[in-house]
Structure 1
Amino acid sequence: MEENRKVKTGEEEEEEVWSWGAGTEGQLGTGRLQDEYLPQLLPRSFSSIGPISLLSCGGAHVVALISGGKVMTWGRGSSGELGHGELAQSLQPKSVEALSSSIITHVSAGWNHSAFVSDTGSLFTCGDGSFGQLGHGDYKSCSYPTQVSFLASKHVHQVACGMRHSLVLLKGQVYGFGSGKRGQLGISKDKVRFVNLPQPTIGLEDVEIVNVQANGDHSAALSNDGHFYTWGRSFVKGDSDSYIPQCLRTTAPLMSFTEAALGWNHALLLSGDGSLYSLGEYLGQGMMPMKDSPEYSNNTFTVKDVDLNGTKVLHVAAGAEHSALVTEFGAVMTWGWGEHGQLGFGSTDDQASPKMIILPCTFSDTVAKSRVYCGSGFTFFIRGKLPLNS
């Protein structure tokens, strides 16, 4: 789940930004066009852009929301997804000047499109629009963030970009647009190839949704009471896709979830007590063979415990076929597919279960505040420090 992280400025708090994995499009922000198998500490000039409130990693580009509502992007830009008005990659963070007059409160990066929400509830999109995922009523691409006029009279709170589709959260309603062939738009009980204007989802009208997620051909939402809804491509190979949102129901009392993250073939769910669960099959790529929990199952998928030997989890993230988490102690752990070095262990080996990444301890006498974010084959880790006497 992508959440804003408020960070104090000045001497009260600093932060480090680390990246690793696929980097041939400049998405790691290192200034090099190469994969990195070990975590790379980005230079101070990177962090000088300001405290990062939210980071969203797409197919091969990154969108960063900076404290104060400004936006920086870098990485692949061949479809205009960086919003700089050109079809070119950027090896370093670059300000999205077209949004300079707006205060941005939420951002999302898809496979090769991007979306931005302002404090006034306006939605802006750019990048590849060939499936209607920009919501402008056509199938054209756009290299500058352009307001989605169809939603001009509504107040958008959040946006989530998948591979070829987008979701927006309004008060009391979720809308979808773009590719819908796997049911990921949730707008009809019948198959929908694609739509180029936002359409309301079906079945969530009486549910108070507080967060939406999208990745690959999946869509998901969390309600204010911790219920998890998912629609689109099935998490189990061979099962039917879900064209409308389905609530995860169990034979035991429904577990309450506080955070979710979607990959291409799996999902991670974090409960209020810091326990982590997973949906999906073990395909040898991006999933671990975890112990079954039959009491948390239905006809579509089974929720499985991620065994961390009692360690509590504060935050989760999912790439295409790898996963990451932050523990209660501020440590980062990764597992899954490792072809591009996205696990950060110095090789391209896969990892079946969560393993801790050892980073140099540069924050003495501090309490670490950490967040992790995953793109399709790369990972970002932001480690902040807060003095113990604050």
Structure 2
Amino acid sequence: MAELEAEKKVEEEEAVVKGGELLFCGATAWDAIGRRKGLEGNLVSPTRLRPLMGVNIAFVASGSSSCHCVALDVDGRCYTWGRNEKGQLGHGDKIQRDRPTVVSGISKHKIVKAGAGRNHTVVVTADGDSFAFGFNKHGQLGSGSAKNEIEPSPVRCLVSDARATACGGDFTVWLTSVEGASILTAGLPQYGQLGHGTDNEYNTKDSSVKLAYEAQPRPRAIASLSGETIVKVACGANHTVAVDKNGYVYTWGFGGYGRLGHREQKDEWSPRRVDVFTRQNVLPPDAVVSAGSVNSACTAGGGQLYMWGKIKNAGDDLMYPKPLLDLSGWHLRCMDSGALHHFVGADRSCISWGHAQSGELGYGPNGQKY
């Protein structure tokens, strides 16, 4: 009887979509971020955004190279705000939004997951459909065509049974429930970040050398992972980190600063297993996986956090995963990284560290800002 009651309690807890109140810190001058110094209006302390006060937020996305944000509430509404020069907010225009605004074009769908690239956004519905909007020059929207360079309103992605999505700077990854095709990619293939064994480079001129990279607008399964079930994925600006159901970690794409964890800086055009996370150190089912612009991270056995790549401005880069001992003993629930700053949800605390330019560490007016 006790076992039945315990099972029922677990089922009830799983049926309830957990959410909370969104807090924001960092730069708010969206059109100026990354373009000039001395930005005004930075929020140096975690701050409630008025349009989302009282709204139960279940998921938040903002990529390490993006200047816009996406938030999903427990009812599946999608809010976007920030820079919008390429229509990445999905409101049918290129007007910047300083306040979180519901994306009306997908209001009939319950949105459960989202990803934000440099200038594009991808969402996944509870029914397994996927929609995207924003910059599409490289086919990163996954609509099957790159004819329209900008799609300011949501377009349907050519993906079925989608479970999750992640966006790099100019590419997109989807996880699906389709057997033999659990991970699909589309967009810019320049550094091999799509995982298809090529960068699709070609010469655009007959009389001289001018290289370009063929857009990949049709989501395509990664052939070398067809026998694996990928359960977690994270994207940096030009690299990808994925974990299969057995706890093995794969990385591919741009290899600079050691962000792929293979003890070298070579680009990888196909998924390559990270040897640190094999044998007795495979990742547990509740592992956390994260990717910043130039680094990667995950939790392994015992919840120990490992990081690799360029972790801070000064000092050597980490060519392979090394444990971050400062967080030993903490239970990490989630993590995300920007360019060179990092946030983790640990036990009931939120911990941040790294290099900040606009108060994004959230230390307050008397704390470290830069």
Partner of 1:366: none
2:178 is aligned with 1:142: no
Alpha-carbon distance in structure 2 between the residues aligned to 1:98 and 1:22: 27
Aligned length in residues: 324
Q: Give per-residue Cα distances to partners, 1:228-287, cap 9 Å, x unaligned.
A: 1111111535711110111111376233151201001111102353221111134517xx
- Structure-1 residue corresponding to 2:241: 220
The worse-fitting range, judged by mean Cα deviation, of 131-140 and 177-186 is: 131-140
Say what the alpha-carbon RMSD is for the aligned residues.
Answer: 2.9
Q: Distance in 2 between matches of 1:210 and 1:159?
A: 11
Which residue of 2 is the match for residue 359 of structure 1? none
Distance 2:32 2:103 in 1: 16
Q: Look up the SS of the partner of 2:105 in the other structure.
A: helix
Q: Match for 2:268 among 236, 242, 265?
A: 242
Structure 1 match to 2:140? 133
- The reply on whether 1:74 has 2:81 as its aligned counterpart is yes
- The structure with higher relative contact order (CA 8 Å, sep 6+) is 1
- Aligned residue number for residue 298 of structure 2: 269
Query: Per the alignment, in what secondary structure is the counterpart of residue 74 of structure 1?
Result: strand
Q: 1:236-385 to 2 correspondence within 5 Å? A: 236=257, 239-250=265-276, 253-257=280-284, 258-271=287-300, 273-284=302-313, 301-308=320-327, 310-328=329-347, 330-345=348-363, 346=365, 349=369
2-structure distance, mates of 1:309, 1:195? 41
Alpha-carbon contact 2:193-2:238 (below 8 Å) kept = yes
Q: Using structure 1 for the length normalisation, give the TM-score.
A: 0.75
Q: Secondary structure at the match of 1:316?
A: strand
Structure 2: distance between partners of 1:21 and 1:249: 36
| Aligned-residue offset at 1:307 | 2.2
- Aligned partners of 2:313, 2:106: CA distance in 1, in Å? 42
Indicate the residue corresponding to 1:162 in structure 2: 168
Between the aligned residues of both structures, percent identity stands at 25
Choose which of 165, 170, 185 in structure 1 pairs with 2:194: 185
Are 1:231 and 2:237 counterparts? Answer: no
CA distance in 2, matches of 1:100, 1:87: 19
The answer to whether the Cα contact below 8 Å between 1:222 and 1:259 also exists between their aligned partners in 2 is no
Q: What CA distance in whole angstroms lies between the structure 1 residues aligned with 2:15 and 2:42?
A: 29
User: 1:202·1:244 contact (CA, 8 Å) conserved in 2?
Assistant: no
- AA partner of residue 343 (structure 1): L
> Alpha-carbon deviation of 1:191?
4.8
Q: Which residue of 2 aligns with 1:198?
A: 219
* Structure 1 contact 235–301 (Cα < 8 Å) conserved: no
Q: What's the secondary structure of 1:206's corresponding residue?
A: coil
When residues 61 and 69 of structure 1 are mapped into structure 2, their CA distance, relative to the original with a 3 A threshold, is same
Distance 2:83 2:312 in 1: 28
Q: 2:228 aligns with which of 184, 189, 207?
A: 207
Instruction: Verify the 8 A CA contact 2:290 2:298 in the aligned structure 1.
Output: yes
**Mapped contact 2:71–2:78 kept (Cα < 8 A):** yes
Post-superposition CA distance 1:66-105 (Å, at most 9, x none): 1122211111111111111110111111111110111222
Structure 2 unaligned residues grouped into runs of 5+ = 1-12, 34-38, 202-212, 259-263
Displacement after TM superposition at 1:223 (Å): 1.3
- The amino acid that maps onto 1:259 is V
Whether the aligned pair in 2 keeps the contact of 1:266 and 1:281 (CA below 8 Å) is yes
- Counterpart residue identity of residue 163, structure 2: H
1:40 aligns with 2:40: no
User: Alpha-carbon deviations, 1:193-219, whole Å to 9, x = none?
Assistant: 231221221311111111222220011
Q: Distance in 2 between matches of 1:112 and 1:15?
A: 27
TM-score when normalising by structure 2: 0.79
Distance in structure 2 (CA, Å) of the matches to 1:67 and 1:282: 34
Letter in 1 for 2:357: E
Letter matched to residue 81 of structure 2:
W
Q: Which has the larger share of strand?
A: 1
In the superposition, relative to structure 1, how do residues 236 and 14 fare at CA in structure 2: closer, same or farther (>3 Å)?
A: closer
- Alpha carbons of structure 1 residues 309 and 187: separation in structure 2 relative to 1, 3 Å: closer
Amino acid at match of 1:20: C
Structure 1: tracts of 5 or more residues without a match: 293-299, 351-390
Give the structure with the larger helix fraction. Answer: 2
**Superposed displacement of residue 158, structure 1:** 1.5
